[in-house]
Chains A and B, each alone.
Chain A
Amino acid sequence: MDYMSLESFFQHLANGISLGSLYALLAIGYTMVYGILRLINFAHGDIFMLGIYFGFYAVSRFFLPWWIGFIVAILLTGIIGILIERLAYRPLRDSPRISVMISAIGVSFFIENLAVVIFGGKPKSFPNIGIFSKVVKIGSVTLTSVSLYIPIVTMVLLIGLLYIVNHTKTGMAMRAVSKDYEAARLMAINVNSIITITFGIGSVMAAVGGVMWGLRYPSMIPLMGLMPGLKCFIAAVVGGIGDIKGAVIGGFILGLGEIMLVAFLPSLSGYRDAFAFVLLIVILLFKPTGIMGQNTVEKV
């Protein structure tokens, strides 16, 4: 490998890491909800989309300072995530899983179509915020500063989340609910409030990811949540669904893989979106529980 290609390799690596961090943030939401409810939250990608739009409206329509705007957007998105669980998933708690999944698909389409009606179908452009759009040069790698902040924010959130899950009472309750629902209820854990908290955390993560996505890829449309949503579910499966660290690993694998595919095999760049699905199928066939997943025994 000569010097030039090594240079471009680091450039792609940096891009891949920042994309992978965004995927990781979304994948965490999927993995937490799946761990507890055994449900693919199809609406997660749309919650992410709402995060971007709320950020956009807060900053460029309500003229809030960017950090207040982002906090408002993230909190609003979290509330919507909780509302979705209340209205669309909780009534189906004891129904067959197929009904819950159809409900999830229904929510996803409802949000998307409502977003088209409210926000308009035309692409909008995320505002340019000074401190995020500075150009940074590290050695020969050129980045906008937001690409640097993204992995840092992801890591901070990940550490915080792991602390909550592993060292707090709430986290212990979460782990208990994900292991056994009924037993957790018998141990006087309020299952519903734990699920609400899970959805809240997952949606907030998605919103943070969304706002940063908007800063990095400014063009936005109401249907933009669909593809990242599917891909990040795949990232969660690849990492071993239900495992938070696995979700982050899966997100990075997906982000880096996508960028490297386009970088090193430009003739396949049209197949970029297919990469995730091929990865999913390969993983499911060879290690159905994902990289970090434990084997589960089928009970009759």
Chain B
Amino acid sequence: MEINKKKRLMTLIAIGLFLVIIVIFNKTFDSYKMRIFNLCGIYVILALGLNLINGFTGLFSLGHAGFMAVGAYTSALLTMSPDMKEMNFFMKPIVPFLANVEVPFYIALLMGGIMAGLAGFLIGAPVLRLRDDYLAIATLGFGEIIRIIFTNTQSLTNGALGLKGLPNTTNVWWSWGIAIVCIIFMVFLIKGSYGRAFKAIREDEIAAQAMGINLFKHKILAFTIGSFLAGIGGALLAHLLGTIDPLMFRFILTFNIVLIVVLGGIGSITGTVISAVVVTTLMEVLRVLDGSMNFGFIKIAAIPGLRMVVFSALLMIVILFYQQGLMGTNEFTWDWFIDRKKRKKVS
């Protein structure tokens, strides 16, 4: 009991410390660095959602970008001012029931998540009967279908033109605040009976069923929560960038999130968080690879696209030589931390 109290205190202190770090970053970083920092938080949310589906429940889903699109469009349409909407929809007027809607950001954000979760539920109900590769390809298909629908429903989403001039509401408090809530929620979810059921399904579906786990209920739950988080992430991303269009939500966006999950460890919350931050930062830092490089003595002409080559090679190397990723299925715990300290003292 004593130890547990101590651990809880340490967790609270750690969160407090992190909040202080956010404040410091908020004061000292310029807008470009802030944007990267925000992106990190958003990717933490997105990757946690995908890891819940892919990592903990073992359902290989590739439709994350589609659910992000649902969240992004929902919250964008809800937060844009009527004037802004009129300016955007010059090809075809917007559907009347959305024309004059303008709600606060937090409601729009929640609605984005709920709509994405609903989409996840509706899509998940039929396709979760499929397994492995079939599920992957079906979810990929649904992700693409969502994008194609959004490209073609001009009076609802403005089609291929996309939406511009969304309020730039997302700041560190939104992105990292929600990320922290997400992490805490995931920790409790995974520790609880649901989490154990998810893991059981991942390890052996048939055995799990034999133990009395309701496969469908747990699969759809994981899928819906994952989609919900994708929707929230998508909405935050939309309000960070201020502009969205269907091309943003191609398969490559899902690929980035899969990359984060795999590098961090399929089935590790800690790994996901670390790798979300590292990968997102690297993706920006490595932009120098795309530009021309000048080492003083040698100049290399700009090679656009080299960054993505490096990233796909990185994914290949990790999956070929270090399959469990950064953390495997392990988590950071205070025990582990304390043990390490002790071990150091002894040696």
Contact = CB atoms under 8 A, between A and B. Distances in A.
Interface of A: 34, 38-40, 88, 91-92, 95, 97-99, 101-103, 105-107, 109-110, 112-114, 116-117, 121, 226, 230, 233-234, 237, 270-271, 273-274, 276-278, 280-281, 284-285, 288, 298, 300
Contacts of A103: 316, 319-320
Contact of B262 (A102, A121, A277): A102
B258 A102 contact: yes
Contacts of A234: 137, 141
B245 interface: no
29 contacts: A40-B133, A92-B319, A92-B320, A97-B132, A98-B58, A98-B266, A101-B136, A102-B315, A102-B319, A105-B315, A106-B312, A107-B316, A109-B252, A109-B255, A109-B312, A113-B305, A116-B305, A117-B306, A230-B141, A230-B144, A274-B148, A276-B141, A277-B138, A277-B142, A278-B145, A280-B138, A280-B141, A284-B127, A300-B206
Given A97-B133, A280-B138, A274 B315 contact: no
B173 interface: no
Contacts of A34: 133
B308 A113 contact: yes
B57 to A, nearest CB: 12
B214 interface: no
Contacts of A298: 206
Contacts of A106: 312, 315-316, 319
A281 B126 contact: yes
Interface residues of B toward A: which range?
35 or more
Contact of B137 (A40, A110, A300): A40
B58 to A, nearest CB: 8
Interface in B128-164: 129-130, 132-134, 136-138, 140-142, 144-145, 148-149, 151-152
Contacts of A110: 309, 312-313, 316
A233 B304 contact: no
Contacts of B129: 285
A88 B137 contact: no
A285 B142 CA distance: 14
B251 interface: yes
Contact of A88 (B133, B141, B151, B320): B320
Interface string B240-266: 000000000001100100100010001
A113 B137 contact: no
Nearest to B146: A274
Given A113-B309, A230-B141, 6 more contacts: A40-B133, A98-B54, A110-B312, A113-B312, A281-B126, A284-B138
A95 B315 CA distance: 16
A300 B208 CA distance: 12
